[in-house]
Structure 1
Amino acid sequence: MSCVAVAVAGLWASPDAPRAIDASALGNPALLEHWLAALDDDTRLALCKEKRLATQVLLDTPVGILERRRDSQGNDWCRVVVPNQRSSLDPRGYPGWIPATQLAEGEGCLAVGTEAATVVTPVAWMQGLPQGRSLKLSFLTRLSVATPSSDEDLSRIWVETSLGRGWLPRGSVHLPDESFPAVAATLETLGRRFDGLRYLWAGNSSFGYDCSGLVHSLFAAIGIALPRDASDQVETGQPVELGERRPGDLLFFEKPDDTGRLVVDHVALYLGEDRMLHSPTNNARIECRRLGGSRYAEQLCAVRRYLSTPEAS
């Protein structure tokens, strides 16, 4: 079994998709914040317009390796699928390319379906790693819980990872028997913690989300697995009339593509009272805004429901 061995790995369109400015995101460790700080408006926008980045994958997430290749610079890459990110692009999971140096084999990797400690704060520092290292982790990173010892500090949760044994502050994680209530209020509370976070095309971590990455992560936090992309998400859930939406529903929006065909290209979480939470577009930031009177009201094409009863809102 193989898994991601950096805090957040990018899944790229091809080994030649990254540019020189992306180099700091490709190593081990991945210097994600350094990379994001170096991107200006144009280089961020190019990730989208040129479809360079496909999605992001968190530490210890299992992947299936399909192919290995060396790029023009002599760096080794793996074409993989990510089973926990469903996609119509591949029934095995989201497909793309990851630098081989950002993958680990076997020991420490979290098997699919394994119970784990889950980061539930926007970020959390894992400390106590070999050589005294520490690592800043994203919301929803899942790691195997280490076997406790008799003198365990109750303020810490020890975990076994592909990078070795480390610990996380107890308040930053849920253990396997802990969960958030699967209600609309939880989705809003979790989502509002990311107010102001800058949009990132293909972002699926709390260092930057795109629209579908944000809702994919919020619903995963309450135990509901959505596909990764908005175009696939709209094919799931219970269809709801546009005027019957309620808190916790997802709103989908459409625009013409390059051929003039209308396609779903945006998704938002409905909060009730004409409010929605979303990660709007390139070089904007996650926000809560009114739907009425906006361009989004004109583009709204579908509503989908995942919470089963009105009481769940």
Structure 2
Amino acid sequence: MTATRLIDWPLVDLRRAPEGARDRQLLMGEAVQLVGIKGAWAEVSALRDGYPGYIPEAALTSGTVTHRVSARATHAYSAADFKSPERVSLSHGARLDVLSEQGRFAETPQGYVPRAHLVPLDQRETDPVSVAEILIGTPYLWGGNSAFGIDCSGLVQAGCLACGLPCPGDSGDQEGALGETLPEGAALRRGDLLFWRGHVAWVADPDTLIHANVHHMAVTYEPVQDAISRIAAQGDGPVTARKRLKGLT
């Protein structure tokens, strides 16, 4: 059995086995390949990166999507009125099918979403770090992929996908797949990536990183040298790679 389906919940854990541990998360409207059904669980792989796992079958739907949430987060309201009750909260990166426009709002199957919080799917960002900066202060969450909780590789993937760049889901795979290796001593610039064993961070400027990290339990800025020294001191070793992305304008 292989068929394309969409995520129908605001957020769902992608688990390594039914009832198992979370590996990643999938957002409203993201596409998956349905591999099979085991009881109440669907075996799927995410179209964004091929990540395999299990989600509740009830989280799947069919349909189309036309827009994505470009704000950090938004609400779908019960009417085209900001005073109406909200139906659901949606994260940056969630995908929706816009049926019509009513003033400041876009009508979607989930409710009425502020138009200012949406962009067409084919509208790409040009600076992945600016996407990461939208998520400053987001709580750290192992395996997280949303504005409600995110980890280091989720933050990197969010920036890449918003810019139309393919990106694996885990930092180890990202180190192998993303960009070109910089020579030792080469000056860093915005949009570069620093990798450690089990960790990755964006370069915001030559002296500053932005990353989701356990030390701060949030997405934060941190001086490059402070992060390098701290991570080495806590026993996680030196920087393993410095990469520069290709395909950015």
Same fold (TM over 0.5): yes
| Aligned twin of 2:148 | 207
Q: After TM superposition, list the pairs within 5 Å mapping 1:1-313 onto structure 2.
A: 1-17=4-20, 52-70=21-39, 76-84=40-48, 86=49, 93-104=50-61, 106=62, 108-110=63-65, 116-128=66-78, 134-146=87-99, 148=100, 152-159=101-108, 164=109, 166-176=111-121, 178-180=123-125, 182-183=126-127, 187-236=128-177, 237-244=179-186, 245-254=188-197, 265-281=198-214, 284-293=217-226, 294-296=229-231, 299-307=238-246
CA distances 1:126-151 after superposition (whole Å, capped 9, x unpaired) = 1238xx871110101122232x3xxx
CA distance in 1 between counterparts of 2:148 and 2:102 reads: 29
Structure 1 residues 282 and 64: CA distance shift in structure 2, 3 A = farther
Flag the structure with higher helix content: 1
Bigger Rg over Cα: 1
Structure 1 residues 55 and 292: CA distance shift in structure 2, 3 A = same
RMSD: 2.3
Q: Is the 8 A contact 2:132 2:158 kept in 1?
A: no
Q: Which amino acid counterpart does residue 175 of structure 2 have in structure 1?
A: V
Post-superposition shift, 1:307? 4.7
CA distance in 1 between counterparts of 2:122 and 2:142 reads: 33
Q: Is the 8 A contact 1:126 1:167 kept in 2?
A: yes
CA distance in 1 between counterparts of 2:30 and 2:211 reads: 25
CA distance in 2 between counterparts of 1:218 and 1:226 reads: 9
Post-superposition shift, 1:4? 1.1
CA distance in 2 between counterparts of 1:189 and 1:109 reads: 28
Q: Percentage identity across aligned positions?
A: 28
Aligned residue pairs: how many? 233
Post-superposition shift, 1:209? 0.6
Post-superposition shift, 1:167? 2.4
Q: Which amino acid counterpart does residue 207 of structure 2 have in structure 1?
A: D
CA distance in 2 between counterparts of 1:4 and 1:277 reads: 29
Runs of 4 or more above 4 Å deviation:
none
Normalising to structure 2: TM-score of the pair?
0.84
Normalising to structure 1: TM-score of the pair?
0.68
CA distance in 2 between counterparts of 1:178 and 1:64 reads: 24
Flag the structure with higher strand content: 2
Q: Is the 8 A contact 2:76 2:110 kept in 1?
A: no
Structure 1 residues 165 and 194: CA distance shift in structure 2, 3 A = closer
Post-superposition shift, 1:99? 1.0
Q: Is the 8 A contact 2:16 2:22 kept in 1?
A: yes
Post-superposition shift, 1:189? 3.3
Structure 1 residues 242 and 197: CA distance shift in structure 2, 3 A = farther
Post-superposition shift, 1:117? 1.1
Question: Please, which runs of 5 or more residues in structure 1 have no aligned partner?
Answer: 18-51, 71-75, 87-92, 111-115, 255-264
CA distance in 2 between counterparts of 1:276 and 1:135 reads: 33
Structure 1 residues 7 and 226: CA distance shift in structure 2, 3 A = same
Structure 1 residues 282 and 296: CA distance shift in structure 2, 3 A = closer
Question: Please, which runs of 5 or more residues in structure 2 have no aligned partner?
Answer: 80-84
Post-superposition shift, 1:308? 5.5
Q: Which amino acid counterpart does residue 166 of structure 1 have in structure 2?
A: G
CA distance in 1 between counterparts of 2:132 and 2:86 reads: 30
* Secondary structure, aligned partner of 2:217: coil
